[in-house]
Amino acid sequence: MIIPLSKPDISELEKNYVKEVLESGQLSMGTKTQGFENMFKTKFNARYAVAMNSGTSALHVAVKTLGLNAGDEVITSPYSFIASGNCLVYEGVVPVFVDIDSSTLNMDVSKIEQAITSKTKAILAVHIFGQPCKMDDIMRLANEYNLLVIEDACEAIGAEWEGTPVGLLGDAGVFAFYPNKQITTGEGGILVTNGEDIFKMASALRNQGRSVNSQWLEHDYIGYNYRMSELQAAVGLAQMERLTEILEKREKAALRYIELINKYFLPVTLPTLLNKCKISWFVFIVILPKDTNRDLVIAVLEKSGVQAKPYFPSIHLQNSFRFLYGFQAGDFPVSEEMSNRTLAIPFYSTITFDEQLYVIKALKKAL
């Protein structure tokens, strides 16, 4: 038995929508892209949505549209996928990392204020693994210090903070649709905002700088080829129509894991789920006991046919960030400890109880 780390949930609807695109002959910037954007706006009560070819592209455009420039500082988490940092580096913006809360794995909001300087222009809040940051504290600080807020909700579609969908609490929010995400377009992302100026510039930047009302091949900005294809949008539109179903299946799978972990007395801990938020289950993370040889655990699981991976290495200790900014081990100790102890186990909407039971028994043996 081989149980993969992740698996997209693809139905006949996705296949039919892709077939429609292929038969239409319009493979870019067509009705499926518009439909995907419109469904996103309707589902999450956003005024504007701009689909792009990746979450990274959408994060980059968010940075550009908010006017962040070289030398500006943006506060964010070191415990995330590297795109959260790269999108700042692209524009010469300095990432100012704030260590995380070991219980939630999100940025420790009690440490944000001391990181604010005269150069701080924004906070990039990462909703790690689908659990929202403490957005009331973040927005309070943003208002007090006149800071912009970008939400990296790439892992958090459907998550809420005090009843409000994440991605719409700040100035701009970004979601991503890689195959391991809750819903997928293969590769893809989307920027959501309630700001008209942000929307207009984002629409232009994704399309080589061509404004929405520009003439053919007339370009107002130095832009990028960040367009989402119609094939991607076709898959995304079908996935959005099935979003509630998919998220419910993932939640049920997560609750089964929690039950099995308790039943079999696994010596692991789980991230704390805050009462004020609704989580959207992206991956299922366990925190291993201190001094556990995680590589050995992964190797033992692999021999049993169970895929498992570390999530996430700390961004500041990636070679590129060490080289650029001189970060060293010990700079953000909580992030570093969690990076060494967290493990993602197989998790997807179609995982069965028997597969989950097999995973938990294999993990118990590996520990």
Question: What are 99-154's pLDDT values in tens digits?
Answer: 999 999 999 999 999 999 999 999 999 999 999 999 999 999 999 999 999 999 99
What is the C-alpha to C-alpha distance for residues 15 and 96, in angstroms, rounded to an integer?
43
7 neighbors 307 (Cβ within 8 angstroms): no
Taking only the tens place, the pLDDT of each residue in 13-30 is: 999 999 999 999 999 999
36 neighbors 233 (Cβ within 8 angstroms): yes
Helices (H), the chain: 12-24, 31-44, 55-65, 83-89, 135-145, 196-205, 230-241, 243-263, 294-303, 319-325, 333-341, 353-366
The question of whether 200 is a catalytic residue gets the answer no
Give a yes or no: residue 3 inside a domain.
Answer: no
The answer, yes or no, to whether residue 167 has pLDDT greater than 90, is: yes
Nearest alpha carbon to residue 83 among 235, 8, 189: 189
The answer, yes or no, to whether residue 213 has pLDDT greater than 90, is: no
Give a yes or no: residue 327 inside a domain.
Answer: yes
CATH number (domain holding residue 25): 3.40.640.10
Burial class (CB in 10 A: 0-12, 13-18, 19+), 25: exposed
Give mean pLDDT, residues 172-192. Answer: 99
Which one of 181, 249, 303, 364 is the catalytic residue? 181
Same domain, 224 and 276: no
Same domain, 74 and 141: yes
Give a yes or no: residue 151 inside a domain.
Answer: yes
Distance, CA of 179 to chain centre: 12
Give mean pLDDT, residues 186-197. Answer: 98
Rg (C-alpha) for the chain, rounded Å, is: 20
Q: Which residues pair with 120 in a beta bridge?
A: 73
Question: How many domains are there within the chain?
Answer: 2
What is the C-alpha to C-alpha distance for residues 184 and 233, in angstroms, rounded to an integer?
10
Task: Please state, as a whole number, how many other Cβ atoms lie within 10 Å of the Cβ of residue 163.
Answer: 8
Same domain, 268 and 361: yes
Same domain, 132 and 228: yes
Give a yes or no: residue 1 inside a domain.
Answer: no
Intra-chain end-to-end CA distance of the chain, in Å: 20
Taking only the tens place, the pLDDT of each residue in 265-303 is: 999 999 999 999 999 999 999 999 999 999 999 999 999
Q: Which domain holds residue 255?
A: 243-366
Nearest alpha carbon to residue 72 among 148, 17, 169, 173: 148
- The confidence score (pLDDT) of residue 16 equals 99
Same domain, 133 and 154: yes
Give a yes or no: residue 2 inside a domain.
Answer: no
Give a yes or no: residue 48 inside a domain.
Answer: yes
Same domain, 322 and 277: yes
Q: Which residues pair with 75 in a beta bridge?
A: 96, 123
Phi-psi domain of 38 (left: phi exceeds 0; alpha: psi -120 through 50; beta: other): alpha
CATH number (domain holding residue 314): 3.90.1150.10
What is the C-alpha to C-alpha distance for residues 124 and 135, in angstroms, rounded to an integer?
11
Give mean pLDDT, residues 64-93. Answer: 99
Same domain, 65 and 211: yes
What is the C-alpha to C-alpha distance for residues 131 and 160, in angstroms, rounded to an integer?
8
Give mean pLDDT, residues 203-221. Answer: 93
Same domain, 46 and 154: yes
Q: Is pTM beyond 0.75 here?
A: yes
Measured between alpha carbons, how far is residue 70 from residues 51, 93, 105, 209, 239 in Å? Answer: 26, 5, 29, 20, 38
Last residue of a domain, one of 241, 262, 281: 241
Nearest alpha carbon to residue 96 among 111, 81, 106, 104: 111
